[in-house]
């Protein structure tokens, strides 16, 4: 039996993504309500060159990076965000604006802390581990950071 690639059956992507997210949350013992509609839309618009296996990996990573009960677009990889960002509805543009505000706040705190992640986390009122994840997910990591 041969199935067409995901890019030819985009309508399957939200259902598969929800399935993978629930499976990961269950395995981690975390409460997860699911993916935000904007996240589903971004996943649906992506071409999935790695097919279902790539989708499963992307969703697993997004669930791991999510601190709340809903997977928001900022937890998705840059490639997925860039694939559909230009044509997103206003609600997704809201999330992009929030993402930019997070970047700005983190960069300002890192500058004020002289690059010290622990001090920057204190300034932001965040746990240092969360700030490390945030730096990675926002692509703000630099080689000398620790």
Domains of the chain in sequence order: 1-88 (1.10.8.60), 89-146 (1.10.10)
The pLDDT of residue 92: 59
CA atoms of 42 and 13, how far apart (whole Å): 10
What pLDDT score does 18 carry?
96
User: In this predicted structure, what is the pLDDT of residue 87?
Assistant: 57
Which 8-state DSSP code applies to residue 116? -
Classify 34 in phi/psi space as left (phi over 0), alpha (psi -120 to 50) or beta.
Answer: left
Both tokens assigned to 118: 């622990």
Which residues, listed in sequence order, are joined to residue 87 by a DSSP beta bridge?
none
Gyration radius from the chain CA atoms? 17
pTM over the 0.75 mark: no
pLDDT digit of tens for each residue in the chain (146 aa)? 888 898 899 999 999 999 999 999 999 999 999 999 989 989 998 999 989 999 999 999 999 988 889 998 888 888 888 776 655 565 556 667 777 888 888 999 999 999 999 999 999 988 888 888 888 877 787 544 44
């Amino acid at each position: 039996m041969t199935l067409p690639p995901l890019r030819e059956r985009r309508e399957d992507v939200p259902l598969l993504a929800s399935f993978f997210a629930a499976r990961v949350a269950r395995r981690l013992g975390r409460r997860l309500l699911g993916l935000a509609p904007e996240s589903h839309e971004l996943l649906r618009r992506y071409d999935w060159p790695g097919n279902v296996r790539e989708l499963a990996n992307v969703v697993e990573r997004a669930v791991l990076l999510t601190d709340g009960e809903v997977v928001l677009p900022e937890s998705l990889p840059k490639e997925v965000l860039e694939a559909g960002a230009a044509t997103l509805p206003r609600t997704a543009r809201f999330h992009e604006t929030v993402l930019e505000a997070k970047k700005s706040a983190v960069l300002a705190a890192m500058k004020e802390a002289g690059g010290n992640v622990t001090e920057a986390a204190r300034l932001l009122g965040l746990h240092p581990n969360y700030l490390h994840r945030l730096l990675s997910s926002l692509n703000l990591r630099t080689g000398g950071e620790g």
